[in-house]
Amino acid sequence: MRTCRSFFASAGFLIAICFAGTGCQLGPSALRIGQAQYSDALRVATSEQMLVNLVRMRYRDLPVFLGVTSIATQFQFDQSTEALGTLNENVGREGLNPNVLRLSGRFGYSEKPTITYSYLGGEAFLRRMLEPIAVENISLLAESGWRADRVLRLTVESLNGLDNASTASGPTPSRAPVFESFADAVRLIRFLEAAGDVEFVFVPRRRQISLELPRAKISSGDLIAATKSGATFATTGDSDTASLVVTRRVLVLRFSDTPTDAQDAARLRKMLSLEQGEREFEIVDATELRGVRRVETHPKIGLDTRSLMGVLYFLSQAVEVPERHSERGIVTSTVRADGSGFAWSDVLDDLFAVHSSATKPRHVAVAVKHRGYWFYINDDDESTKSTFSLLGQLFMLQTGEVTKSSPVLTLPVGG
């Protein structure tokens, strides 16, 4: 009798331990799965917001940006086990009046996530959207591995005077933009870069940022303050004066000494008005070159950059508009000087393309619905997906951290 009771008691205890052990392992597993799901959901939501804003801008609708400021969730686990049994004094030989052991268990799991969105607006955010992209940020993107021609086509309005559809940095223009010479130069850069005839490199350059000052008037406090700001005082030879200088890594277009295609290399120099004898040309903001005549040569290449808002408007021109909407005149149609229609694919070519459909598309990277139609990016369009990813990085780089701005929308999901 004692043996039977001991057996059932041990069995019930082991089963309870098994249930408890399983519950302890499920918690961390659920947390890991939850992180991946939230991360993927955030990626999809961010992509859809960016795409729908591009579509809105093509229709001259107001773009709206929301930032996820927090994601909080509560996990609750509930588990229990129960073992009941009946031990009889006399168990019949024919199986009558047997011992009975009943086991039961219950496991519960619940999750209560809360997602908080903030409207991105206000003066600070708008200024970041409207101010020209700094050449340093363009250099940073190029240094991070993005193809130079993709970065230039997306962010630059003018390359040493060659216009890159600058009128497309706002709502769709009615007249065809100027872009052909810029497009030819960028294609040539890509070709020469692939051949090793030109390359974009980063080199340290010292730049004077102050007038020359008498050395005797420079105090130790001035030296300390300069060091804290990343600058230093430098003199030339035995001069009694010194000037404040900073050393920065700058982006440089470097030509090969022995190009495999000297003719195309010379053609690129001519297109950009670059001196034939120079090998390196620093990429700078075009404002540094104001006053230099277009026909003159100089050892720098000036960029007029778009604003982030300009980049968004520029890419919005690649949104394919349903024929019905074009016929109704709810979007601007761009025409050439002779009155013939202009195709924005001539500008954006293999850079970016957004398609439209009356029915929900399949095999897409991202799709949104607007004005009764679906707009989407094909999953097999690697170039468009690359540009879309670059746009996301540029957006984060320009707008910085999410700043809370009313109204704040908090959504409890489930539970």
Q: What is the pLDDT of residues 39-68, one digit of tens each?
A: 777 888 899 999 999 999 999 999 999 887
For residue 102, pLDDT beyond 90: no
- Range with the largest mean pLDDT of 59-63, 91-95, 242-246: 59-63
Provide the pairing of β-strand 355-357 with 300-305. unpaired
User: In sequence order, what are the residues at sequence separation of 6 or more whose Cβ sits closer than 8 angstroms to the Cβ of residue 109?
Assistant: 26, 30, 75, 76, 77, 78
Q: Mean pLDDT throughout 275-284?
A: 90
Least confident range of 95-104, 150-159, 270-279, 325-334: 95-104
For residue 401, pLDDT beyond 80: no
pLDDT of residue 110: 62
CA-based nearest residue to 256, from 190, 193, 191: 193
Domain extents in the chain = 2-119, 131-200+249-401
- The pLDDT confidence band at residue 369, using thresholds 50, 70 and 90, is very high
- The pLDDT confidence band at residue 173, using thresholds 50, 70 and 90, is very high
Question: What whole-number distance in Å separates Cα of residue 394 and Cα of residue 306?
Answer: 12
- The pLDDT confidence band at residue 325, using thresholds 50, 70 and 90, is very high
CB 206 within 8 A of CB 245: yes
Instruction: Please provide the average confidence, as pLDDT, over all residues in the chain.
Output: 82
- The pLDDT confidence band at residue 288, using thresholds 50, 70 and 90, is confident
For residue 397, pLDDT beyond 60: yes
Q: Which residue has the tokens 């951290």?
A: 401
Residue type, 408: V
Q: Report the run of H or E that residue 187 belongs to, with start and end.
A: helix 180-195
- The pLDDT confidence band at residue 293, using thresholds 50, 70 and 90, is very low
CB 146 within 8 A of CB 387: no
Q: What is the pTM of this model?
A: 0.76
For residue 266, pLDDT beyond 50: yes
